[in-house]
Structure 1
């Protein structure tokens, strides 16, 4: 036994009258009793040697006579026997509980194996192997939103041609990626309209953005005139042209 409860109050109450050597002898006899888990066997001389007190056999004998009971050449201690009995009972209950838990798990495992449904296997035969399977219907791929938007937007080639026409008209900063250029092409602006706007922008010392704004203003004015039944707008004279005559002025950044 590697552990036993030691009640300090009880010990001091019953051993206050002992001498220091007798106190040491008693403590060592208790340790030996719990270590061997049973009554002490042997005479005073042997026990004195076991607890390393050979020169103090008299003190050992006094302790044995006062606190132990000798029966059949064995020394018994009532308190030690009670503690050992409690320890033995506790160990037996723990072993029984562990065994019951193990047995219960084994029973549950057997029950689960016994009640598990068997996997039914259908043997193959001639009919099953000759069954005609339906022909899968091919799925028609649908264009993605990005592809749809790309198909509806003006092509890069049309923007490139428009940009080239404006550069040929003298507007060297023409950019085919400009969003307003793409908007004008999507609305149906022609290369001739954009080239006219580029020429007039160059004459006025303006840039590419000014030309696009001019073309957009012309188209808005043309729509208004067409809706009102007027004649379509023609190319204005360069001398008296002003971008504000063809729509709202747009501040260029």
Structure 2
């Protein structure tokens, strides 16, 4: 037995008359009894050495405790209370072993499910924290699975026919050429404008959710994962763990972020990767410029026009 119940009231009532030495000896004998789950040895000298009794007073105290609290039988000194507790403990071994086996199996299934959920979320470019509960992982995977991931035929047709940075000949070649190994490779199969068109459907659900109600932690992580995937396609270095999202998401919509990233990618050198932090001042400048341009759009006063130049020409 690794533990036993020590009832303070019962012990105090039974041992109130003992000296300090006798208290120590009795306590040690009980612990030895429970640890071995068998009676104390019958030989008094063995018992004296077992509890470390060295002096004559200590050896006498051992004999006193044995005679008062123990009963000598063929297999050694028995204690009625210890025998009762040991019997109850041994009878419950089977139940404890069964509970331990069930708990081990439950934990094994729990770890396997966590591993599967983490693998599926990482495949969707979503990396949860290591201590995320299983219930939250299930919700994250459910939310990510509900977001539209495919482009419809109408959207594909719109993408192919919309004006882009490539020439009409290149666009027609990309959309209509047969998928064989003989045609010339197109090194610019997806322009920034096409990225915006392809992204519009995927971010529509998240933008609508952002407008209607505050985002939960699960919905926000799903939104970040989807944005990271689109930004990396454009050429922006973005991961879900970046603290930059705490600045971007509350103040800018998905469309603003994708549009700003596309504009930054157009002006960057070919093959250059852009960090997500680079978009923050660009977005701030875009918002300020839009606000100022709206305020400054005023109609000119009539008296400011030159009658000689404008009055007879019909331009006024």
Larger-gyration structure (1/2)? 1
Whichever structure has more helix as a proportion of its residues is: 2
TM-score range, shorter chain: 0.3 to 0.5
Normalising to structure 1: TM-score of the pair?
Answer: 0.42
**Larger RCO, structures 1/2 (Cα 8 Å, 6+ apart):** 2
